[in-house]
Structure 1
Amino acid sequence: MQRLAARIERFATAAPFVIARGAKHEVEVVVAEVGAGGHNGRGEATPIDYRGETAAEALRAIEGVRGAIEAGATRVDLLDLLPAGAARNALDAALWDLAAKRAATRVWALLGLPDPRPILTAYTIPLGDPGAMAEAARSASARELLKVKLGGEGDVERVRAVRQAAPHARLIADANQSWAGLDVEAMLAALAPFRVELVEQPLAAGADAALAHVRPAIPLAADESCHTRADLDRIVGRYRVINVKLDKAGGLTEALALIEAARQRGLGVMVGCMLSTSLGVAPAFVAAMQADYADLDGPLLLACDRTPGLEFSGSDVHPPLAVLWG
């Protein structure tokens, strides 16, 4: 028998976290714990707000499958028990953590992966006016990879300001669906001189057909348009990269399958995260071991992380300690 406990926790952000959809001052996460055989596995997930998810709803969904979990449901069973989203992610992470503890090994060993090394992670520059974004970029200019949040009109000026403030950093950008009504091809051409390597989600999820004939000067990555393997066939020919997030995919189990399926279709892979603590990001680190880009800076954007948390040094995030997860 397995034992289930779940709860909601709240963490303040270090500063207002602003993207095209609005600002956040705190994040609510749902935490699941599954115990068995004297061991306890933990998982954390952040609801996907643009899909209308809330922590309260995620907690109710977890409670709704309590009987199945306590009867011994597995990670594979979860794929049928719950839809993709935060509830499934929290439980999936807890079951992976539990399996590693019961086997006295690490999750990457269970997957047959080599021992990991630190991974380069992007660091987010929140959306703002060009001056504010330049100041944020200047403060982070020693970091190797910056992710610039965009908002539509004025984005060229924003990126120009960031590039001038951080001339040596690599840049990727995230439009968060804000380019509706803009000429996507022209916007990409205008950003290309600033050495932007990638632009995420220029148009709203569901509006991807408009990208079919765009000749992008910068590769496009699908974020809100790609959650699980079921979305991949709509991605090919419109995007060259997908952003895999465990909260979207509904856990590491689906995320790993999604990465494999994306590779089979010739797509590049970024592994990202929502605002979350180190407990939420730790499983994403395992997925990021197989990615081209990692954006795992969620804990750095909080006023206070869990203890112990992930170790960040320079531009890298280190593998999670067993006492944290996995």
Structure 2
Amino acid sequence: MQVRSFIRELPFIHPFTISKGTKTHQPTFIVELDFNGIKGYGEAPAITYYNIPVEKMEADLNARKQLVEKYAFNGPERYWHYLHHMYPNNGFLVCALDIAAWDIYGKLTRKPLYQLFNADPAKMPMTDYTIGIDSTDKMIEKMQEKPWPIYKIKLGTDRDIAILEALRKHTQVPLRIDANAAWSKEEALEKIQAFASLNVEYVEQPLAKDDWEGMRWLVERSPLPLIADESCVFEQDVTKCDGHFHGINIKLTKCTGITPALRMITEARKRNMKVMLGCMNESTIGSAALVHLAPLADYLDVDGPLLLAEDLATGLHYDFGKVALPEGPGLGITIQPL
């Protein structure tokens, strides 16, 4: 095995604002694994509030590069365990390497990943398109610029209800709300009750990630489903979220890759919880990994390539909310020159 890495800054089409801040570019870390001439690619974007910048991913990889390369590869699951123990404090790096390993495995078996996951293409959910926090007029403008069958609306302001009421005057399609942990429990209940009459599908992460008492109070009163994001990072968090949320949002970068994501989906289903697959503004590389898992989920948020002005690969095709499953082996995408 040989490994190379690349750091890229991908510009957004519009500045991207959530309750935690604004950014104009998405820093992302790309790995290339070469196994006897078969190359696999993986990606992990840097998210400020998780405190793992791309420079740390690069430094940690280089510090133990020989150990990454010397492993006798015979499948991604065992490789993930090897990497997980090698990098216990850098799950983002593990994720990028895990995706690349699955890409190689798919190419070795000559199958697209969704077939290895026993994912039924007939169960492919549509993806939403995200509207970041902005002036109300600008949010309406962004929505009109991108006609779509489902929108994800970022909130976390003192005008959340007014924003949603204004957006509702311009579209009747389902809306999904993401507060990114911005509300108190009383504020959340007031807003969710108002949203219940505005064709909102669910609300994502209304309270602080560790406010378990508040979430239990809220989940018993909410008229809308509540989905965990920041409260559900690793596999063990699925159990903690049961009884506090109606479902979980699995993001490959935060959960450390495809391998644990598959186990999280299984555990959530055992607990009769809804499953959402979410992106962290990945390019087509990381987004393709999510797309192959998508038929196993109820909800899909994989609009990263639509929000970015530049991409690192081709092979994902979006058609008004529908995403076609790539049919090539592995991720089934074509990498642009890095």
TM-score grouping bracket, smaller chain normalisation = over 0.9
Aligned to 1:12: 11
Q: Compared with structure 1, are the counterparts of its residues 102 and 50 closer, same or farther at alpha carbon in structure 2 (3 Å cutoff)?
A: same
Conserved 8 A contact 1:48-1:247: no
How do residues 173-252 of structure 1 correspond to structure 2 at under 5 angstroms?
173-180=177-184, 182-214=186-218, 215-252=221-258
Partner SS state of residue 165, structure 1: coil
Partner deviation per Cα, 1:20-41 (whole Å, 9 max, x = no partner): 1111111111111111122111
Partner deviation per Cα, 1:223-282 (whole Å, 9 max, x = no partner): 011011111222111110111000111101111111111111111010010112101111
Conserved 8 A contact 1:223-1:243: yes
Partner deviation per Cα, 1:50-104 (whole Å, 9 max, x = no partner): 1111011112222234223211261332232223632011100110111111222
Residue 137 of structure 1, aligned match among 129, 137, 143: 143
Question: Stretches of 4+ moved more than 6 A in 1?
Answer: none
Aligned to 2:69: 70
Partner SS state of residue 166, structure 1: coil
TM-score (norm 2): 0.90
Aligned to 2:336: none
Find the aligned partners of 1:202 and 1:115 in 2 and give their Cα distance: 32
Displacement of 1:316 after TM fit? 1.2
Unaligned stretches of 5+ residues in structure 1 = none
Q: Compared with structure 1, are the counterparts of its residues 250 and 197 closer, same or farther at alpha carbon in structure 2 (3 Å cutoff)?
A: same
Q: Find out whether 1:121 has 2:107 as its counterpart.
A: no
Residue 306 of structure 1, aligned match among 282, 303, 312: 312
Displacement of 1:16 after TM fit? 0.4
Displacement of 1:285 after TM fit? 1.0
Find the aligned partners of 1:47 and 1:320 in 2 and give their Cα distance: 25
Displacement of 1:117 after TM fit? 7.3
Displacement of 1:108 after TM fit? 2.2
Q: Find out whether 1:148 has 2:153 as its counterpart.
A: yes
Q: Which amino acid aligns with 1:164?
A: K
Q: Compared with structure 1, are the counterparts of its residues 226 and 159 closer, same or farther at alpha carbon in structure 2 (3 Å cutoff)?
A: same
Q: Find out whether 1:29 has 2:35 as its counterpart.
A: no
Find the aligned partners of 1:62 and 1:115 in 2 and give their Cα distance: 35
Q: Which amino acid aligns with 2:311?
A: D
Find the aligned partners of 1:69 and 1:208 in 2 and give their Cα distance: 38
Conserved 8 A contact 2:119-2:293: no
Aligned to 2:169: 164
Q: Which amino acid aligns with 1:12?
A: P
Q: Which amino acid aligns with 1:294?
A: L
Conserved 8 A contact 1:170-1:195: yes
RMSD: 1.9
Partner deviation per Cα, 1:168-224 (whole Å, 9 max, x = no partner): x11111001111375322221111111111001111111232121221011111001
Partner SS state of residue 281, structure 2: coil
